[in-house]
Structures are given as C-alpha cells and as structure tokens.
Amino acid sequence: MLQSRSMFQKIWDNHTVTKDEHSGEVLLFVDRLILTDTSSFHAFDHLRAEGYKVRHPKKIFGEPDHFAASRGPTLADIADDERRELVSALGENCAEFGLTHFGLSDPRMGISHVVAPEQGITLPGLFLLCGDSHTSTHGALGALAFGIGGQTGHIMATQCIWQRPLKNMRVSVEGVRAPGVAAKDVILAIINRLGPAGGFGHVVEYAGAAIRAMSVEERLTVCNMSIEAGARSGMIAPDDTTIAYVKGRPWAPKDAEWDKAVAYWKTLPSDADARFDHELTLDAATLSPMVSWGNTAADVVPVTGRVPDPANEPNADRRRSMERALDYMGLKAGAALQDMAVDQVFIGSCTNGRIEDLRAAAAVVTGQGKGRKAKIPALVVPGSGLVKAQAEREGLHRIFIDAGFTWGHPGCSMCVGTNGDTVAAGKRCVSTSNRNFVGRQGAGSRTHLASPATAAASALTGRVTDVRDFMQGGL
C-alpha cells in the first residue's frame, strides 16, 4: 500500500529524477520555465560563455512584463534605453535559443503569471518555475510552481533543478463569503493570520468550501500572494472548475492526450488522510473587505478597522517595526482606515489584473458609483493583451475612461514601478497589487493593498472606501 500523500508530495515525487545522498537535495524535472525581462539576461550570458545548449527549448517561454510601458505597446514607449535593451535582449535571446516568446507586439503579451494560465502553459500536475517570486500564482491550477531567483541558466541547460524538500501546510477556508468580500480579501486575511514569515519553507495548499466555490481567476489571486506569508508556493487541488478552465486553451492537451491528462488530474488531490506539517482554518463568513496599513501584507485590518497601536504589541522587535511602518506610512495609531484621504489608485498586477478583476472594478463604477468621476488619478492596467482585448469587447475601458480613470497597456506597471509608473514620495495609493514594502511603488510611496472593488470605490471618493456602502446604496 502506498503511503497517503498530499497533492504537493504527489507532484514532487512524480518529478523526482534522483537524490544527492551528500546534500539531501533532490533533482526535479521541470515541465515549464518562464523567463521575464528582469531575471534572465545573466543566465543567457552564462549559457553563451560556457557553450551550453538549451535542453528543451519548447518548454521555455519568454514573457517581458516588468518594463512594458503602460502608455503604449511598443519598444519606443519603454522608459529608457537600458530597459529597452533588456526587453529586446529577451526577444533576441529567445530567438537565438529557439524559445517561445510573447513580445510586446504579440497580442498575447502580458504579465507572465497572467499569460501562462491564460494560454494553458500552466496545467494541473505540472512543475513550473520562473525567476519571479510570484510564480506561486500558477499553483491555483493544481501545479507546483515557485520562483527560483538565479537558477534559470541551470534549468535551461538541464531542464532540472536541485531542491531541498519543502514542508507542507493546509489552509482551509470554510463557509461562504459575504457580498463585497473578494478573493483578495480572503488571502489578505490568511496572511494576517500566518504573519509575513508564517509560511516559511512551506508549500501551502488552500482548501475548504470557500476555496472550492471560487473561480480559477479568484484562486489565482489567492495563490499569487502565498509568498507574502513567506511560503514558497501555494496550490489548490484541480476540480471540475479547473478542468473547465483549462479545456481548449492553446497549449492545453487535446483529444486522447486530454483524456489522459484529465484522468491523471483526478488522482492529484491530497489523500483524505494526508499529513500536513501545519493546518489553519478560517471561516469565510467572518471576513470583511481588507485594507493594509503597514509595510507587509500581514499588516491588514478590515476596512472598518483602525490602525493598531504599537504600544499594545508585547514583542519589542515587532513593536519597533510597527512604529517604523506607521512613521513611513504617515499614520497614527488608532486612526480609522475608512475615509482616510488617498492620492491615487492602481488597479492591475498579477494579483488582480485579470478580466474578473476588471469587471469587479467596473461594476462599482457602473453600479452605485454611476455618474461619479474619479476624484484622484486612477490607473487601470490589464494583466495581458488578451485581458485588455476582452475588456474592450465588453466596453469596460469605456466605463473606466468615462469615469476619468486612465486605461493602460498591459504589464506590471505600478505594482513595482520599474516601467516608470510610480507613486510619488509621501503619496498614498490604494493598490490591487501584492506588496506594500517600503519604496515598492516608488521611493517614499505609501501603498494600501486592497481588492479591485475597494480600489475602484476609493478612486471615486478619493478616500479609503468600504465597497459594501456602495452596494447598499450608501454614500
């Protein structure tokens, strides 16, 4: 009898090539590697200098995203020569080594973590890697996926990676979400419970009725932020929702291979008695729209809540870091988050730049927000070219533009500011991205993480807004 295993363990075992007895590290076979514009040029230089070949060029995908300009779709729109050179270098490197590349002018271009699931490059049961830390996103389809920093050259040359075994945690979200509570609010609440390092060394499996009830896009939002709790990765067992999402996508298996794949995917969910190193359970019904106040994604409170008082924090290190965060964010202990004035809004990123996110934001503008105009600069950047095209077919861009929002070209944009879209020093931004670190959206920027609906409502009022007030016809 096979020992009962978690989904993570099943995928790990299925990709184990060999184990090094000295180091205890395992050599794993990699199904897909994604290269972005920031993280791959050292690897290509290394391959060329040492004369290595790329072992499986078809399993590798180049997707420029960090430097893509939101003001326009061409190389000429990019902020400066250095970044322009890196974006074109990615394309040239992919061409030289025979890798698939979704360049700026390709209608499928966009943020790698949006594009790969959309294209069916991400599939259940696969082991997928990318230099970027938010690769955990792809686990939403039941893949094992994480960011790997500087090891892309090794993977290109060997199609394998050495890894130490990881621990396994399960976070179960039971119950039903109340209206106005988005997937983003669920993951922010989870990170708040785990703390910014609570997932360290773990792969987190999200389970429970509230997760099962989510669409694949919502699950992508949840898994995306696993890293903000310090976890290596997040994953969700594939089910009928996943299979329906994957079917027919360009890189998904077809015909007999499809049937084979589906049969395999059904064996993936964790066995009923699988053991987890840690377990956490939350009740979705108790959750509210969340807004962050500090400089980690764990620093969140319900939108109706108040900035916590460091004086109540018994741990001295933690107290000091809270004080530093309040100072940086320009906040006072005990202040209400709701109705605090905001300078700008960003809607987009690999966390919340998908079509359902844009629909949720647009619904606020056309619903109770109808007739209102954005009171502050608000930038909406679709996560990919296909998301942008779909949104424009649905007329969402018109809704945003008519309400005074700026409608941008796809890319990471203001999530990290490396394309030149930044938040000025001391300015406050409600953002649907995933990181509120010091200086993340630009030197001195003050980021408040929130859902797309919260961000859209805040743009219309110029204040941190409880989207449920909009829904109940308030304001």
Provide the minimum distance between the beta carbon of 149 and another protein in the complex, in angstroms, as a whole number: 4
Partner whose binding site includes residue 111, from ligand SF4, another protein, none (CB under 5 to 8 Å by kind) = ligand SF4
- Choosing from 168, 192, 296, 349, the residue that interacts with ligand SF4 (CB under 6 A) is 349
Residue 221: both structure tokens together: 């939002």
Partner whose binding site includes residue 350, from another protein, ligand SF4, none (CB under 5 to 8 Å by kind) = ligand SF4
Q: How far apart are the first and last CA of the chain?
A: 62
Rule CB under 6 A: say whether 445 interacts with ligand SF4: no
What does the alpha-carbon distance between residue 28 and residue 10 come to, in Å, rounded to a whole number?
13
Beta 378-380 vs 160-163: how paired, if at all?
unpaired
Helix, strand, coil tally for the chain in percent (to 5): 40, 15, 45
Rule CB under 8 A: say whether 63 interacts with another protein: no
The answer to whether residues 332 and 307 touch, using CB atoms and an 8 Å cutoff, is: yes
What does the alpha-carbon distance between residue 365 and residue 399 come to, in Å, rounded to a whole number?
7
What does the alpha-carbon distance between residue 83 and residue 37 come to, in Å, rounded to a whole number?
9
Rule CB under 6 A: say whether 433 interacts with ligand SF4: yes
Partner whose binding site includes residue 240, from ligand SF4, another protein, none (CB under 5 to 8 Å by kind) = none
Residues 6+ apart with CB under 8 A from 257: none
Residue 45, classed as helix, strand or coil, is helix
Nearer to another protein, 56 or 71 (CB): 56
Q: Kindly identify the residues of this chain, within the stretch 445-464, that bind another protein according to CB under 8 A.
A: none
Rule CB under 6 A: say whether 136 interacts with ligand SF4: no
Helix axes 385-393, 112-119, angle to 10 degrees: 70
Rule CB under 6 A: say whether 65 interacts with ligand SF4: yes
Beta 127-130 vs 144-147: how paired, if at all?
parallel
Rule CB under 8 A: say whether 32 interacts with another protein: yes
- Stretches 78-86, 101-109, 276-284, 411-419: which one binds ligand SF4 (CB under 6 A)? 411-419
Rule CB under 6 A: say whether 222 interacts with ligand SF4: no
- Choosing from 8, 11, 31, 440, the residue that interacts with another protein (CB under 8 A) is 31
Provide the minimum distance between the beta carbon of 415 and ligand SF4 in the complex, in angstroms, as a whole number: 3
Residue 239: both structure tokens together: 């089910």
Provide the minimum distance between the beta carbon of 78 and ligand SF4 in the complex, in angstroms, as a whole number: 15
Residue 48: both structure tokens together: 């060329």
What does the alpha-carbon distance between residue 97 and residue 94 come to, in Å, rounded to a whole number?
5
Q: Long-range contacts for 48-56 (Cβ within 8 Å, ≥24 apart)?
A: 52/153, 52/156, 52/157, 53/157, 54/97, 54/98, 54/99, 54/156, 54/157, 55/156, 55/157, 55/158, 55/159, 56/159
Burial class (CB in 10 A: 0-12, 13-18, 19+), 85: middle
Partner whose binding site includes residue 14, from another protein, ligand SF4, none (CB under 5 to 8 Å by kind) = another protein
Rule CB under 8 A: say whether 23 interacts with another protein: yes
Rule CB under 6 A: say whether 416 interacts with ligand SF4: yes
Partner whose binding site includes residue 20, from another protein, ligand SF4, none (CB under 5 to 8 Å by kind) = another protein
Q: Which residues of 369-389 are buried (b: 16+ CB within 10 A; e: fewer)?
A: beebebbbbbbbbbbbbbbbe
Q: Kindly identify the residues of this chain, within the stretch 244-263, that bind another protein according to CB under 8 A.
A: 251, 253, 257-258, 260-261
Rule CB under 6 A: say whether 350 interacts with ligand SF4: yes
Binding mask 93-132 for another protein (x = CB under 8 A): ------------------------------x-xx------
Interface with another protein (CB under 8 A): 14, 17-18, 20, 22-23, 25, 27, 29, 31-32, 38, 41-42, 45-46, 50, 52, 56, 58-59, 82-83, 86, 123, 125-126, 149-150, 153-154, 157-160, 162, 251, 253, 257-258, 260-261, 264
Interface with ligand SF4 (CB under 6 A): 65-66, 111, 113, 132, 134, 349-350, 412, 415-416, 433-434
